[in-house]
Amino acid sequence: MAILMSVLLVGCGTTVDPPEPGTPTSEEPAPETDPDTTGDPESPGEPESPGEPAIVETIAEGLHVPWGIAFLDDGTALVTERDTARVLAIRAGESPTVVAEIDVAAPTGEAGLLGIAVSEDADVFLYVSTENDNRVLRTRFAGGGLGPGEVILSGIPNARIHDGGRMIFGPDGYLYVATGDAAVPGLAQDPGSLAGKILRVTTDGDPAPGNPNPDSPVWSLGHRNVQGLAFDDQDRLWASEFGANAWDELNLITAGGNYGWPAVEGMGGSPEYIDPIHVWPPADASPSGLAWSDGHLWMAALRGRRLWRMDADGGEPAAFFTGELGRIRTVVAAPDGTVWLATSNTDGRGDPVDGDDRIVAVRTR
């Protein structure tokens, strides 16, 4: 049953006043074995040729660890900031405004205010790390602000790292929620745990009809830390996933599929596990956001500091903007046909420059 949350959700008109670029966060630099680290400096990418992706506009700057982006019907973008627990509204030609501060959020490390999704009915869903768990809240944008939030899904294990957090509505109208293993790898193989899974639920948080187990929200299992979800034009679900020390992954998700973590990382596991479609060394990826646009999958890379483009039906991935924007956290298809990229250089693992963090619009052809 949904529980009304007494969260601090503020009204409109509050202009964003972000921390200065480079302000330290509570997050310590990650150990070398954690793929979501800065890594070695990258050399500049190859010059763009005609028809390749190009940055056409800076949408917003001076943000602090933007994490999730979702669009309302009128084109307004709602953006979450992981470490400030703020929700921002961004409209064309206007400065971002703060429309909510989620006071149940407890940012630490990779946890905080993470994913956001908007339903066909214009309800707004937030993935929030609290002191005790990760949970999904449902609220509404009205009168320039977000209303009181309801908890529709709770009890997702949380930790300082590996919290997942990406959410997307499928063409079936159900909400898909990516979770991490909360730094306890064995939870990913436990069908009774919500950690290390992709969940599929109704807008009330109940297991969606057609789930492999009708009493469970679990859609797939065996994931280490999924931070990207996208549906292609054939209604197939794709997920980008952090590996440990060897391989990051792009997976094609099937109902009830087991993707092998922690028994296997990358290709070549037991036949009971599903192999990824593409793999990368963590230095080239550490993948987060994922989007479908212009007939391709687009994947944001944190440690890799680049944008990857992939054909859903084969072909070698291509990299763009290598080293130009720093760490890229989120990629999302915008209503005007561009793709928006959000950087993550103020997250304690990046090297912020003037204007960071920022959101830029990219023409993809």
Give the pLDDT confidence score for residue 51 in this predicted structure: 63
Task: Report strand pairing: 54-60 vs 359-363.
Answer: antiparallel
DSSP string, 23-83: ---SPPPPPTT-SSS--SPPPPPPPPPTTS-EEEEEEE-S-SSEEEEEE-TTSPEEEEETT
**pTM (2 d.p.):** 0.89
pLDDT in tens, 24-69: 333 333 433 444 443 333 333 443 443 699 999 999 999 999 999 9
Rg (CA), the chain: 19
Lowest-confidence pick of 88-92, 171-175, 231-235: 88-92
Partners of residue 220 on adjacent β-strands: 198
pLDDT in tens, 116-137: 999 999 999 999 999 999 999 9
Other beta carbons less than 10 A from residue 76's beta carbon: 18
CA distances from 152 to 2, 55, 156, 195, 253 (A): 5, 38, 12, 17, 24
Q: Contact 344/351 with Cβ under 8 angstroms?
A: no
Q: Which amino acid is at 304?
A: G
Q: What size, in residues, is the chain?
A: 365
**Residue, of 66 and 7, whose pLDDT is higher:** 66
CA distances from 205 to 101, 123, 225, 226 (A): 22, 13, 21, 19
Q: Which amino acid is at 198?
A: I
Give 126's Cβ-side CA count (13 Å radius).
Answer: 34
186: three-class secondary structure by DSSP: helix
Q: Which pair of structure tokens corresponds to residue 342?
A: 């959000």
pLDDT category at 16 given cuts 50, 70, 90 is: low
282: three-class secondary structure by DSSP: helix
Rounded distance between C-alpha atoms, residue 194 and residue 127, angstroms: 14
- What does the longest C-alpha to C-alpha distance in the chain come to? 55
Mean pLDDT, all residues of the chain: 89
DSSP string, 297-325: EEEEETTTTEEEEE-TTS---EEESTTTS
pLDDT category at 3 given cuts 50, 70, 90 is: very low
Rounded distance between C-alpha atoms, residue 35 and residue 181, angstroms: 14
Give the pLDDT confidence score for residue 268 in this predicted structure: 84
Q: Which of 282, 235, 243, 283 is nearest to 259 (CA)?
A: 243
All structural domains of the chain? 58-262+269-363 (2.120.10.30)
pLDDT in tens, 261-296: 999 999 987 899 999 999 999 999 999 999 999 999
Calculate mean pLDDT across residues 223-239: 98
Q: Contact 292/331 with Cβ under 8 angstroms?
A: no
362: three-class secondary structure by DSSP: strand
